Structure formats: structure tokens, C-alpha cells
Amino acid sequence: MALHLYNTASRQKEEFVPRDPANVGMYVCGPTVYDTAHIGNARPVIIFDVLARLLRLQYGDAHVNYVRNITDVEDKIIAAAEANGESIEALTTRTTKAYHEDMAEMGALPPNREPKATEHIVGMVEMIGVLMEKGHAYEAEGHVLFDVTSMADYGKLSGRNRDDMIAGARVEIAPYKKDPADFVLWKPSADDIPGWDSPWGRGRPGWHIECSVMSRAELGDTFDIHGGGRDLIFPHHENEVAQSCCANGDGTFARYWVHNGFLTVEGDKMSKSLGNFRTVRELLAEAPGEALRLNMLSAHYRQPLDWTSDGVKQSKTNLDKLYTSLQSLSDVEADESQVAKSVLDALEDDINTPKALAALYALSSAANKETNLVERSKIKGKLLSGGNLLGLLQQDPKEWFQGAEEGDVTADQIEALILERVEAKTNKNYARSDEIRDSLKDQGIVLEDSPQGTTWKRV
Ligand code: AMP
Ligand code: ZN
């Protein structure tokens, strides 16, 4: 089966055919770096990481250019820096670093390129100039605005008519706009906030022009896939299309638009006022990143996903089962020629991760039953390659079960206690040997005795 993706632009699932048969370009809107990432922010990161892994398998690592930007100039950043009493640079550096750490903990590989908006201001000024020259933009009170009436197709991506756009209150009403749906390309900056010189005075770009310029700089006028959360379809992506098509030529820009659905927490929309904002950092203190990742992949990306602590627990249990199977296969080497076709087929069907996980569980059950060594080696190869496509089973099973978190009893301490227990048993001091077993159990360490000796794992 060839890769099929649901394209928001055509509102149907389409076969993915890259512009250049040998190379794929993908742009995903990255974070605005003003705060620590919440679990909703991780959803596009993990989904597009799975898509990038799939594309790299199909086209080769060197033939996939996955670009995810950093929005490091935006009004939310200015407001947050002021509220924190922190410089803008300190804030954006700190939150970008935390974002990288959190996403890596959830098993997301870095994109190939990560442009920052502040590195592309010259390109933005240039594109805005072209839009003005071509009659798609106008200057008013130090602002430059995109004239939506200059583009016949405006609203096509989101399928909104003009009344919906305005009624949705997602457009800022301002007296200097010719039309309420016109949006800002450039705005003036007071002396104490970030600004760059431009033909329209010292100012800063609007958010939408940043992505039009960064995607063009990295991937050209036309590229294959553009992704992000579905909240970005309007106005952000609609406006990116308007800017890029009007500046670069009709019919240019992204060919496949892929949008992930929203994540709720315990049935509610995440919001600061409800106090149910869950940061990735907090969640990582409760469960390993791979378990959070599996939980994220348990719903299809276009569906809503309700994040619950029961779901995370279940995901951890499911991952433990997968690692148990992998550990039981330690008697064989993985046959690396094996591709998990069932996992691959599921992902090629519009990134169907629940189906891909079911395929991994089926491989795990097969591993538990299979006794033939050649077959076991094949299953191990498939479990690992399928896991790799999903960014799961990335650790050695021993490390998974025995890996310590901060404050946990260490492997050395456990091994020493196991030796002491053997000695106690030899001396028929069963009270002490039971005490050691029970005290380890209280700390989440389970001992398993066998004729070959005692092994242990964290549960
Ligand atoms: P932001 O930093 O707010 O621009 O968001 C970064 C990315 O996270 C965008 O692609 C958003 O669509 C996505 N996003 C934000 N909140 C959620 C959520 N609750 N569920 C899924 N995606 C989200
Ligand atoms: Zn964007």
C-alpha cells in the first residue's frame, strides 16, 4: 500500500505523491516560545515525528527535509517576558531549551531544520514588499495589512465564508483596516520592544508572514506537506496560503495539508482558568516519556484525544507487555531484514497509529507463543522495526525494567540486597530473606527466583 494522507485542502484521503519522486519536504508550525510546553503541544510533535520516521523509511534519511520552526518574535512572548520580569532573549532561550528536552524525552527526533523567525526578518520585509507591489497589501498607521479582497480564493482552505471569519471573532477589529478580515503583515514597535528597520518604520512581523517566509527559505515556493494542529487552519494557515500564493504565484505553496485534532484533559478543554493545564514536564515526573508517547498514539491523530491518568497507566502497562515480550526474545538476535508490514500498512493508511499499535501487540502475542528460533528472530526484527517507526521500544528491555528514576533504590543497592538474601537463605535466616523481598517490593522492585538465580525488575 502506498502512503495515503487526509488532505484538509481537498477534504479527502489522497495518495501521497511528492513533487519530486525522490525527495520530500515537510513544514510543521512549531512552538511560540513563551511558556513550557503542555501535553497538547506535544501532539503535533509526536504525530509529525511518526510521519517523518515513515517518510525516512520510504525515501531514505537524506531525502526527507522535515522543517519545524521556532516562533521567537510574537506578542505573547513580549507579554510573558514583561510579566516574568525576564529579558525576551532569556525567556525564548530558556523555553526553547525546555521544549527540546521535553520533546526528546517523549521520543521525538529533532527535525532536519529548525529556523527561527528572528533569523528571517529580511525575507519577511522582502515578501511584504512584493505583496505591496502586487497590490495585495497596504500601509495604514504604521501597519502593513494584507488586503483579503485582493485574493479571489481567500477562505478556500478553511472553507469559511467572510461572515464566518468575522463572526468567529478570530479577526482583530481595528479602525485602520479596510476590511475587518484584513490581517497584519507588519506592525510598529515602540522603542522598548523588539523591532527591525523597514520601509514602513521600525517594527516587527505578524505571526503568519513568519511561516510563509521560513517555509519558502527552507523548502522553496512549493513543497509537499504542511502540518499543525487544526486550530491553525484558520486564520494562521489560511493567511499563510494567501501570502505565499499572492507573493510567489498562484498554485504554489503546500500540496498536502495535515492537521491533528485537539487533546482534552479528563474530558475538559485544557485551560489555565480550569487549572487543568498539564505540562509535559509534570507528566514526565509521573510516567516515562515512552509511555506518554504510546498514550498519545492510542487515538487516531484526526480524532480528539482525551488525556486521562487511567489512560497513561494503561499505556504504561501495554508498554511493559511489549518490553516483556522483547526481553523474552533475548535468546535470539533480531533478524534485521524484517519490516513489520502490519505496522507499516497501518501507518500508510493516514497514519493509523491505533491500528499500528494493535499490530505491535499482535507481534508481542506471537512472540510469547513461538518456539522456533528462526521465527523468533523474525518476530524480534519486526517488533523492533515496527517499534522504531512508532518511536517505541527504543530501550533495552533490561534498562526499561531496571532503569532508576531520581531517588529510587539503585541497581547496585538491589544487587547487594539480592546477595545478602541468598546468604540469609543459605543460613536459614528466612525472616531476613523475606524482609529483603518485602522491603524491595514496597519500593516497586519485584524479585523473581529461578533455578538460574534471582532476577529483578521495577514495576
Ligand atoms: P502554540 O505554541 O500555541 O502555537 O501551539 C503549538 C502547536 O500545538 C500548534 O500546532 C497547536 O495546534 C498545537 N496545540 C495546542 N494546543 C493543543 C491541544 N490541546 N491539542 C492538540 N494540539 C494542540
Ligand atoms: Zn505556522
**Whether residue 320 sits in one domain with residue 247:** no
**Whether residue 409 sits in one domain with residue 395:** no
Atom 23 (ligand 1): residue with closest C-alpha? Answer: 40
Cα-flanking dihedrals φ and ψ of residue 300, to 5°? Answer: -65, 140
Contact 211/127 with Cβ under 8 angstroms? no
**Whether residue 452 sits in one domain with residue 386:** no
**Of 374, 399, 424, which closes a domain?**
399
Among the atoms of ligand 1, which is closest to the Cα of residue 228?
Answer: 10
**Whether residue 77 sits in one domain with residue 118:** yes
Which residue, among 81, 75, 32, has the nearest Cα to 205 in the 3D structure? 75
Residue of 27, 28, 43, 114 to mutate, ligand 1, most atoms within 8 A of C-beta: 43
CA of 165 to the centre of ligand 1 (A): 20
Contact 238/161 with Cβ under 8 angstroms? no
Instruction: Kindly state the cell numbers that stand for 16.
Output: 501521497
CA of 208 to the centre of ligand 2 (A): 6
In a domain, 282, yes or no: no
**Alpha carbon distance 306, 328 (integer Å):** 33
Which residue, among 181, 43, 160, 18, has the nearest Cα to 102 in the 3D structure? 43
CATH number of the domain enclosing 376 = 1.20.120.640
Contact 353/50 with Cβ under 8 angstroms? yes
Number of H helices, E strands in the chain: 16, 15
**Whether residue 321 sits in one domain with residue 336:** yes
Atom 9 (ligand 1): residue with closest C-alpha? Answer: 229
In a domain, 169, yes or no: no
70 burial type by CB count under 10 A (0-12 exposed, 13-18 middle, 19+ buried): buried
Contact 280/36 with Cβ under 8 angstroms? yes
**Whether residue 242 sits in one domain with residue 259:** yes
Q: Which domain holds residue 360?
A: 287-399
In a domain, 238, yes or no: yes
Atom 14 (ligand 1): residue with closest C-alpha? Answer: 41
CATH number of the domain enclosing 101 = 3.40.50.620
Exposure string of 224-250, with b = 16+ CB inside 10 Å and e = fewer, is: bbbbbbbebbbbbbbbbbbbbbbbbee
Among the atoms of ligand 1, which is closest to the Cα of residue 32?
Answer: 2
CA of 229 to the centre of ligand 1 (A): 6
Residues with beta carbon inside 6 Å of ligand 1?
29, 31-32, 40-41, 43-44, 228-229, 231-232, 260, 262-263, 270
In a domain, 124, yes or no: yes
**Whether residue 394 sits in one domain with residue 409:** no
**Of 216, 233, 264, which closes a domain?**
264
**Whether residue 394 sits in one domain with residue 246:** no
What pLDDT score does 51 carry?
98
Atom 19 (ligand 1): residue with closest C-alpha? Answer: 40
Q: How many domains does the structure of the chain reveal?
A: 3
Residue of 28, 38, 39, 41 to mutate, ligand 1, most atoms within 8 A of C-beta: 41
Give the ligand at the shortest distance from the Cα of 299: 1
CA of 38 to the centre of ligand 1 (A): 9
**Of 399, 415, 431, which closes a domain?**
399
CA of 215 to the centre of ligand 2 (A): 9
**Whether residue 441 sits in one domain with residue 351:** no
What pLDDT score does 377 carry?
98
**Alpha carbon distance 131, 144 (integer Å):** 10
**Alpha carbon distance 266, 282 (integer Å):** 16
**Whether residue 125 sits in one domain with residue 18:** yes
**Whether residue 377 sits in one domain with residue 253:** no
Among the atoms of ligand 1, which is closest to the Cα of residue 37?
Answer: 2
In a domain, 355, yes or no: yes
What pLDDT score does 170 carry?
59
Which residue, among 428, 426, 454, 337, has the nearest Cα to 385 in the 3D structure? 337
CA of 175 to the centre of ligand 2 (A): 26
Beta strands in 266-394 (DSSP E): 268-269, 305-307
**Alpha carbon distance 383, 380 (integer Å):** 5
Length of the chain: 459
Quote the pTM value.
0.90
CA of 211 to the centre of ligand 2 (A): 5
**Segment-wise mean pLDDT, segments of 10 residues, the chain, 459 residues:** 96 98 98 96 98 98 98 96 96 98 98 98 98 98 95 94 70 82 96 96 97 98 98 96 96 95 95 87 96 98 97 98 96 95 98 98 97 97 98 94 77 87 91 91 89 86
In a domain, 164, yes or no: no
In a domain, 277, yes or no: no
What pLDDT score does 441 carry?
92
133 burial type by CB count under 10 A (0-12 exposed, 13-18 middle, 19+ buried): exposed
Cα-flanking dihedrals φ and ψ of residue 6, to 5°? Answer: -80, 125
In a domain, 239, yes or no: yes
**Whether residue 410 sits in one domain with residue 383:** no
